Amino acid sequence: MAVGGSLAAAAPAQAATPPVMITKVYYNSPGSDTGSNTSLNAEYVRLTNKRSTVINLKGYYVRDKAGYVYSFTSDFKVAAGNSILIHTGKGTNAGTHRYWGRSWYVWNNTGDTAYLRNSSGTLVDSCSWGSSGSYTNC
Asked, for residue 89, whether it belongs to a domain, the answer is yes
**Structure confidence at residue 14 as a pLDDT band (50, 70, 90):** low
- Is residue 118 situated within a structural domain? yes
133 DSSP assignment: S
Q: In a 3-state reduction of DSSP, which class is residue 40? A: helix
Whether the CA torsion 65, 70, 71, 77 is positive or negative: it is negative
3-state SS record for 47-80: EEECCCCCEECCCCEEECCCCCEEECCCCCEECC
Predicted confidence (pLDDT) per residue in 26-77, tens digit: 999 998 899 999 999 999 999 999 999 999 999 999 999 999 999 999 999 9
Identify the CATH number of the domain in which residue 77 sits. 2.60.40.1260
Domain total in the chain: 1
Task: Give domain status of residue 29, yes or no.
Answer: yes
Segments forming the whole domain that contains residue 100: 20-137
Burial of 19 (0-12, 13-18, 19+ CB in 10 A): middle
Q: Model confidence over 90-136: pLDDT tens digits? A: 999 999 999 999 999 999 999 999 999 999 999 999 999 999 899 99
Specify if 66 maps to a domain: yes
What pTM, to 2 d.p., does this model score?
Answer: 0.87
